């Protein structure tokens, strides 16, 4: 089995897990060894206590070697300047990432690994030729999120689609937008953990919370990350 570097846009310990963590686990369960890279920070840091705590935590972890979090899964936090869009900052980040990632790969014995990236700026910060297989997994139009550098993300994402071996997208709209820039693109919609959620079918009716039981049937539930910029409340 090959070794895989997963370049995520969410930290491993984020309280709401998405495609990135689940794909890393699925790869590991299939026999791959996985090095999960915490988010490089697409948006600039803000003057908030939350961002300050995150910067301090990331700086400390960036000085540490990859930590094993599961069987065949290691996590490493790169030392980069978040939200850097200028040429000089991008150059600094590329240099720091190349040096740190090289050390991390050597420490784990990864040789010519695959790259599975969620970051649309990957082509500007990593040497894609150093990976034996390159996959871009487009799970969202990240440029639509608040404070994202749209002018930088859109052309870099198109460039990335043309340089990787495979592009996966999670919506027909993403496929429509990115198809002109990729020779190999495939639509794979988001899924649910059927084994996990089907457990609800075996629960007795008495276990339904009172505030839900009082709602007339049929009832529809939604389990996901709801953000104000995605939904008009």
Each residue of 58-113: pLDDT tens digit?
A: 667 767 889 999 999 999 999 887 766 667 778 888 898 899 999 999 999 998 99
* pLDDT for position 130: 94
Is 100 in contact with 63 (CB distance < 8 Å)? Answer: no
User: What's the pTM?
Assistant: 0.84
* pLDDT for position 157: 96
* pLDDT for position 106: 95
Residues 94 and 110: their CA atoms lie apart, in Å, by 20
| Dihedral sign from CA coordinates of 208, 213, 215, 216 | positive
Structure token pair of residue 10: 């969410």
* pLDDT for position 91: 85
* pLDDT for position 43: 65
* pLDDT for position 85: 63
* pLDDT for position 63: 77
Least Cα distance to 136 among 121, 153, 152 occurs for 121
For the chain, which ranges sit under pLDDT 70? 42-52, 55, 58-59, 62, 83-86, 205-206
* pLDDT for position 203: 78
* pLDDT for position 50: 67
DSSP, residue by residue, 82-102: TT--SHHHHHHHHHHHHHHHH
């Amino acid at each position: 089995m090959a070794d895989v570097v997963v370049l995520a846009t969410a930290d491993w310990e984020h309280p709401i897990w998405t495609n990135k963590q689940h794909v890393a686990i699925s790869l590991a369960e299939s026999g791959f060894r996985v090095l999960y890279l915490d988010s490089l920070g697409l948006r600039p840091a803000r003057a908030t206590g939350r961002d300050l705590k995150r910067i301090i935590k990331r700086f400390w972890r960036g000085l540490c070697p990859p930590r094993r979090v599961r069987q065949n899964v290691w996590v490493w936090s790169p030392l980069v300047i978040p939200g850097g869009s200028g040429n000089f900052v991008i150059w600094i980040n590329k240099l720091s990432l190349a040096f740190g990632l090289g050390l991390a790969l050597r420490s784990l014995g990864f040789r010519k690994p695959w790259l599975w990236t969620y970051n649309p700026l990957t082509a500007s910060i990593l040497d894609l030729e150093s990976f034996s297989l390159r996959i871009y997994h487009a799970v969202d139009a990240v440029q639509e999120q608040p404070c994202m550098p749209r002018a930088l993300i859109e052309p870099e994402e198109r460039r990335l689609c043309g340089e990787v071996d495979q592009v996966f997208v999670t919506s027909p709209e993403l496929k429509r937008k990115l198809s002109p820039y990729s020779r190999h693109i495939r639509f794979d919609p988001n899924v649910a953990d059927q084994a996990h959620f089907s457990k609800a079918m075996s629960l007795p009716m008495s276990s339904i919370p009172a505030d839900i039981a009082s709602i007339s049937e049929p009832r529809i539930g939604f389990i996901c990350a709801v953000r104000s910029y995605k939904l008009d409340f």
